[in-house]
Every structure is written in structure tokens, then in C-alpha cells.
Amino acid sequence: MKVLGHKAFARLILSYLVSQAGSKVHRVALLVLVYLLTEKALWVSLVLGVQLVGTVVFSPLLSAWADTQDRKRLLVWSDLLRAPLVALIPLLGAKSLPILLLLVFLIELLRDLHDPIQNAVVPDLVPKEEVDEANSLVLLADRLSEVLFVGAAG
């Protein structure tokens, strides 16, 4: 794990794991919350549909725009902006399902902005000969967070 000797990359992996912990738990908790509020699978499907539309329609546009911006700033701000939006879900979203769908859509847009940038910045943080190892570690962190954090949320 020579690649973790690069401080900037090690910080990226650590922040990625923290971000993924929140995102994975949020994903499960959101669907459970919607079902508990409505007791209707239709609303759960609407939440998933809003997430899908955000990703399919806007992700390519956001990725292209992000390539013209300061990557570090976008990485930090996309995570920092998601936190208050998630906090608004029980405060506002639980009282109004249309507001909940809007919050979910905005959170998904920020995730669609964050994830491609995080992958694109890896070659900037490590030497060329360590990029494969770094990408493998990012993928491992992603898969590990999927198992651990989604499992814990369930």
C-alpha cells in the first residue's frame, strides 16, 4: 500500500470513506423513512425515480462542467452542501413529500457532481506508476463501504 504514503491521496481515501458512510446509510434510511411516512411503495418508487432522473439526465452535464472548475473546491463543497440537505429531510421533507423529492433530487445532483471528480483527481495525487494501485484502493473502499455501511444501515 505504497500509494497511501502520498498524504493528499490518503486524505482523499479517508474523506471518501467518511462520505460513503453517510451516503450509504442515508440511502437505506431515506427509503425506510418514505415508506414509514406513506406506507405506499409508489412513493418509494418516486424517490428512486427522482434519483435516477438526476443521474441519467444531469450527470453528463455536471461532469462536463466540473472538468472546467477547480476540482478540490467542488469535491469539498459538494460534500458540505449535501450534509444540510440531508438534515432538512426530517425537518421539511417528512412534512411535505414534494419537498422531500426536491431534496432528494438536489442531493443526487451533488453526488453526481462529486463522484466523477473524485475519480478524475486520483492521477493528480499519485505518480503515474501508482495510479493502478490508487484506483484499485478507491474501488476497494467503494465496495467495502457498500457492504459495511449499507449492511449496518439495514
- List C-alpha distances in Å: 40 to 8, 28, 55, 82, 147: 45, 16, 24, 26, 27
At 108, list the grid cell.
443526487
The arithmetic mean of pLDDT across residues 14-25, rounded, is 87
Please write the tens of the pLDDT for every residue from 47-78: 999 999 999 999 999 988 998 999 889 988 99
> What's the rounded mean pLDDT across residues 18-38?
90
Q: Global pTM?
A: 0.85
Cβ pair 15, 79 in contact under 8 A? yes
pLDDT at 132 (0 to 100): 94
d(CA 1, CA 133): 8
Q: What is the 3-state secondary structure of 12-50?
A: HHHHHHHHHHHHHHHHHHHHHHHHHHHCCHHHHHHHHHH
